């Protein structure tokens, strides 16, 4: 007797993202923005429009917004923040808002972090990320039953 393709492993795919190394995109949006504010305080990203996913896919030319997030993710990985809990990263953010801190070789003043946050709000990046998170949540809820059929496990 031959095993069914679904139970015999032919279509079974198991994917697990370790909770010990959380990718930036799986962090809560408010925390993801705080991480971006900290890192962008050093990068001081020039003005660029977020654009939209469809345009980025068609153009095949990364816009400044996508490049900026790529740099933020690189530094996030370099600092091993993926291995930290949400609370630990929040403590770093709170601490850096309290006292001047040396961050990646640069002295960061609390006021410069607040200016970065204000710049993100003025440019519409914070609102864009929050709205985008809403769409991700809807997509995630819709895809979970489909992935569950194939044995794929997503982080909580």
pLDDT digits (tens, 9 = 90+) for 8-35: 444 434 334 444 689 998 999 999 999 9
Instruction: For helices 29-43 and 110-123, give the axis angle rounded to 10 degrees.
Output: 110
Q: Is 47 helix (H, G, I), strand (E, B) or coil?
A: coil
Q: pLDDT of the chain along its 156 residues, tens only?
A: 555 444 444 443 433 444 468 999 899 999 999 999 999 998 887 777 676 666 656 666 567 788 889 999 999 999 999 999 999 999 999 999 999 998 878 899 999 999 999 999 998 888 989 888 765 554 455 555 666 666 665 555
Q: What is the DSSP letter of 82?
A: G
Q: Which residues are CB-contacts of 35 (< 8 A; sequence separation ≥ 6)?
A: 24, 27, 72, 76, 81, 89, 93
Task: State pTM to two decimals.
Answer: 0.69
pLDDT at position 112: 94
Q: Which residues are CB-contacts of 46 (< 8 A; sequence separation ≥ 6)?
A: 64
């Amino acid at each position: 007797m031959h095993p069914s393709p679904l139970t015999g492993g032919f279509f079974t795919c198991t994917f697990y993202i370790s909770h010990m190394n959380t990718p930036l995109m799986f962090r809560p949006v408010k925390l993801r923005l705080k991480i971006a504010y900290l890192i962008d305080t050093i990068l001081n990203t020039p003005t660029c429009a977020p654009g939209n996913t469809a345009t980025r896919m068609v153009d095949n030319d990364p816009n400044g917004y996508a490049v900026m997030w790529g740099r933020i993710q690189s530094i996030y990985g370099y600092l091993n923040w993926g291995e930290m809990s949400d609370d630990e990263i929040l403590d770093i953010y709170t601490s850096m808002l309290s006292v001047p801190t040396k961050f990646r070789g640069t002295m960061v003043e609390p006021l410069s972090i607040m200016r970065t946050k204000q710049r993100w709000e003025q440019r519409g990046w914070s609102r864009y990320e929050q709205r985008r998170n809403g769409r991700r949540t809807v997509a995630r809820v819709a895809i979970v039953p489909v992935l569950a059929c194939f044995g794929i496990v997503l982080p909580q």
